[in-house]
A = this chain, B = another copy of it.
Amino acid sequence: MKFRTSPDILPPRGHPAKRQSIIDAAAAVFCREGFAGANIDLVAAEAGVSRQTVYNHHGDKEKLFAAVVADITERCNARAFSVLSTFPDNPEDLEADLTVFAMRLNKSCIWGRDGRFLAKLIHAEGERHPELFETWRREGPGRVWSALAARFARLAFAGHLDIDDPDLAARQFLALVNVDLHIPWLFGETLSEEEQAASAARAVRTFLRAYGRKCEVAANALEEVHEA
């Protein structure tokens, strides 16, 4: 355990393809077995590579772990921002657009391979080796929230939403989107496309009930009150 003395990642050497396949295999193994339980021989076998090659490419087990974290962090953030760019700017049907957006977010980040791996690694090692996830903390959720908050603020300014604290709204939106996914995720179960869509729709509906345009909310509420 000397993450402190040498947290660096070895510079690229050897064939990049093998390098990546090792990282992929290592990610899977670290996630399944945890850092301590992960076996370098298993990583090598799963990557279709000899053990020595693993050491040639990434040196230590700890350096390998750091490389895995860095790799997944980068890909995961990239995906998140790519999905963010699909946020509805001038929505025709805000509810429908937000729902599609929520589903995309799920599919690419939270529920995708990289996202699940990253989340598990953070849960398992975040407390013990926070420095490894510094990058993620600095450039991951914070920026996603900010970006999402900015979009919400834009929609609010345009009169589509009624939000006083966009940052809070962004975090709550993500939390609502996660509601039905969390438990199945813990046990490696999957949700069908329809279930995911339904879950996203429920999240967005509640979100809009809380943050939807004031006059619309008022109109809807009045209508229902009248009916009753």
> Is A126 an interface position by the 8 A CB rule?
yes
Given contacts A176-B175, A211-B209, contact A186 B120 (CB under 8 A): no
Is A126 in contact with B172, judged by CB distance below 8 angstroms? Answer: no
Identical subunits present: 2
Interface size range of chain A in the complex: 35 or more
Interface-located stretch among A64-72, A95-103, A105-113, A214-222: A214-222
> Is A63 an interface position by the 8 A CB rule?
no
Is A221 in contact with B215, judged by CB distance below 8 angstroms? Answer: yes
Is B202 in contact with A128, judged by CB distance below 8 angstroms? Answer: no
Chain A residues 114-129 with CB under 8 Å of chain B are 120, 122-124, 126-128
Cα–Cα distance between A130 and B172 once the two chains are bound (Å): 29
Q: How far is the CB of A15 from chain B (nearest CB, A)?
A: 31
Query: Which of B33, B179, B187, B215 is A126 in contact with, Cβ under 8 Å?
Result: B187
Is A214 in contact with B221, judged by CB distance below 8 angstroms? Answer: yes
Cα–Cα distance between A13 and B104 once the two chains are bound (Å): 54
Residues of B within 8 A of A178 (CB): 175
Chain A residues 138-169 with CB under 8 Å of chain B are 141, 162, 165, 168
Is A34 in contact with B32, judged by CB distance below 8 angstroms? Answer: no
Residues of B within 8 A of A120 (CB): 123
- Smallest CB-CB A-B distances: 8 pairs: A36-B37, A218-B221, A210-B210, A209-B210, A127-B188, A123-B123, A34-B34, A36-B36
Given A127-B186, A218-B218: 13 more A-B contacts, CB < 8 Å: A32-B128, A123-B186, A141-B183, A168-B179, A171-B179, A172-B176, A172-B203, A175-B176, A175-B179, A209-B209, A214-B221, A214-B224, A214-B225
